[in-house]
Structure 1
Amino acid sequence: MSIATTRARGTSGGAGGGLPGAFAAEWTKLWTVRTPYVCLLAGLIVTAVFAFYYGSIARINDKPLQPVGNASVSSVVLTQFVLVVLAMTTVTSEYATSSVRTSLLWVPVRSRIQLAKALLGALVGFVAGAGWAALGMAVAWGPFRGHADFDLSKAVYQTLAMGVYCALVCVLTVGVSFALRSAAGTVAAVFFVVSALPSMLVGLGGPVLLAVNQYLPQTVGGYFMLGDGEAPFPDAVSLLILVGWAVGAHVAGLLVLRRRDA
C-alpha cells in the first residue's frame, strides 16, 4: 500500500487516534531516545553557569539594581540552541533513518503529524524554559549580592515569558526541520536567523539595518522576556511578532511536507 493511498484513506475514513493519538505517539518516541535527556541536562548546566557568571559580573562592575530574572533571560542566547537541537531531532532523525515513512503511514494527515511534533516541542520548550528561568534566578541571587531585586510579579512574568519564547523557538525549529529535512541545514538556518543575522546587522549599523534587527526572533524575544518597557513596541506586539515567525516557519514546513512527504 502506498503512502498516497494510505493518506487518502486516512483523510476520508476514520479519524483513528486523531491529534491526541499523534501527540501521544510523538511523546513516546521522544522519551525513548537519549537526546532529550542530554539536551535538557545541558540546558540546566549552561543556565546555572551563565546565571552565576552574570550575577558575579554585575556585582564586580557595580551595575545598577536590576531584576534577578535578567540573569536567566541573558542565558537564553545559549540555552535556546539546546532546544533547537531537541526539537530538530524529532523531525530530522526520522528522515535520516527513513522511519518517517512509518510515521506518515500511521498518521496520514500531513498537517496532523506536523502539528503534533510542533505541540510537543512547544510543551517541552515551555516547561524547560520556565524551569531554567527559575533555576537561573536561584543561582544568580547569591553572586548578585545586592545588585538585583526580587519582585514576585516581575519574576513570574519573566519565568512565563522565557517559557513562551523557548516554546516558540521549538515550533519555529520544527517548521524549518520539515522544510529542510537535514540536521545540518536546520541548525545552520535557525542559527543564522536567530543569532548570526542580528549580530551582523548590529555590527554593520545604520538605521535601516538596526530597524530590521528589532523584528528578528532573538531581538524581539529579548524585549519580550525582559519586559522592562524599553522595547520599541509593547510586550504584546513583541509576542505577536514571535508567533508570526513560528507560524511562518510552520507553514513553510507544511507546504514542503504536502508537496514531497517522504
Structure 2
Amino acid sequence: MSSTLVHPVTPARVLRSEWHKLWTLRSTWITLLTASTLTLGIGVLMGVTYTPGGGDGDVDTVVLTLIGIQFSQIALAVLGILSTASEYSTGVIRASLTAVPRRLPVLWSKAAAFGAVAFTLTLITAVVTFLAAQLFLSGTDQAASLGDPGVTRALAGSAAGLTLLGLIALGLGALLRSVPGAIGAFIGGVMILPEVLAMLPYDVVSDAVEYFPSKAVEALTSAQAVPGAASPGAALLAMVLWAAASLATAGAVLKRRDV
C-alpha cells in the first residue's frame, strides 16, 4: 500500500518557489547586469570627464555620480514586469495558481523576492559607483565621502527608490498581464506623465507632481535638499504608497479574475 506525501502550502515554500523562478530566468541576469553596468559605467564616465569650474559644479555630488540610474531604472522596471506578466504569456501562471489556490501569496512572494534582489543589487551598485567616481573627483569641487552629510542617506535612498519603482512595475505587470502593455503603461504613466503635468501653469499640480514616483526618486537620490521638491522622508513615503497601491490593485484583480 503506497501513500502520497503532501506538503502543505506555506508562505516560506511559496517564497522559495518564486525565488527559484526569478533566478532561473535568463532575463533576470540580463536586466540586473544591464542595470548595474549602466549605473557604474556612466558614473565612472562622469568622474573621468568632470572638469572643475564647468557647468556641473553646482550639481549634487550623488546625483552626478548616479546619473546612470535614469537608464537602469527602466531595466529594473522591465524585470519587475517580466516577473509577473510573462507568466501569463507562457501559461506558467496556471501551474502557480493551481499550486497556491489562495493566489495572493504568489503575488506577495514575487514582490518580496524581487524587492530583496533589487534593493541589494542597487545599493551595492550605488556605493561602488560613488566610490569609483570619487577616485577621479578627488581634489575637485565634487569630492565627497560616505561620511559627508546626506551622502549615505542618498545612496540608500536611490536603492530604495529604484526598488519601489520596480515594485510599481511588477504590480502593473500583474494587473495588465501583458509585457508590452505594462512597459507602455510604466513609461507613459510613471515617467512621461509627470513631465507633462509639470508644464501646466497650476501650482497645485506642480506641488502634486513632486510626489509622483519619478520625481520622488530624484528627491531620494540627492544628498542636499532640492528646492521645491519633496523632503526625502515624504518622497519615500510617497513611493511606498505608490508601490502599495499598484500591488494592492493587482492583488484585488487577481482574486476576482479567472486565470
TM-score using structure 2 length: 0.87
Cα distance change of structure 1 residues 22 and 149 upon mapping to structure 2, 3 Å threshold = same
Q: CA deviation at 1:35?
A: 0.7
Deviates more, 1:87-96 or 1:53-62: 53-62
Q: CA deviation at 1:57?
A: 4.7
Q: CA deviation at 1:197?
A: 1.3
Q: CA deviation at 1:246?
A: 0.3
CA contact (8 A) 1:118 1:170 kept: no
CA contact (8 A) 2:61 2:223 kept: no
Cα distance change of structure 1 residues 238 and 104 upon mapping to structure 2, 3 Å threshold = same
Match of residue 29, structure 2, among 26, 34, 37:
37
Q: CA deviation at 1:213?
A: 1.7
Match of residue 234, structure 1, among 223, 231, 240:
231
Match of residue 149, structure 1, among 137, 143, 152:
143
- In structure 1, what residue type is equivalent to 2:57? P
Aligned to 1:10: none
1:209-234 CA distance string (max 9 Å, x none): 42232121010121122142235443
- In structure 2, what residue type is equivalent to 1:240? L
1:260 and 2:251 matched: no
Aligned to 2:106: 113
Show structure 1 runs of 4+ deviating over 6 A.
none
- Root mean square deviation of aligned Cα: 2.3
Identity %: 23
- In structure 2, what residue type is equivalent to 1:179? L
CA contact (8 A) 1:72 1:132 kept: no
CA contact (8 A) 1:130 1:159 kept: yes
CA contact (8 A) 2:151 2:223 kept: no
- In structure 1, what residue type is equivalent to 2:180? A
Q: CA deviation at 1:23?
A: 1.0
Aligned to 2:87: 94
Partner Cα separation in structure 2 for residue 235 and residue 139 of structure 1: 25
Partner Cα separation in structure 1 for residue 201 and residue 113 of structure 2: 38
Q: What residue ranges of structure 1 are gaps of 5+ in the alignment?
A: 1-13
- In structure 2, what residue type is equivalent to 1:228? Q
TM-score using structure 1 length: 0.86
CA contact (8 A) 1:73 1:222 kept: no
Aligned to 2:3: none
- In structure 2, what residue type is equivalent to 1:177? G
Deviates more, 1:240-249 or 1:190-199: 190-199
1:121-170 CA distance string (max 9 Å, x none): 11111012112212321332244351313232433222211221122112
Deviates more, 1:236-245 or 1:138-147: 138-147
Q: CA deviation at 1:99?
A: 1.1
Higher helix share: 1
Aligned pairs, how many? Answer: 249
After TM superposition, the structure 1 = structure 2 runs for residues 123-134 of structure 1, keeping only pairs within 5 Å, are: 123-134=116-127
CA contact (8 A) 1:73 1:226 kept: no
After TM superposition, the structure 1 = structure 2 runs for residues 4-15 of structure 1, keeping only pairs within 5 Å, are: none
Q: CA deviation at 1:65?
A: 6.2
Partner Cα separation in structure 1 for residue 35 and residue 193 of structure 2: 23
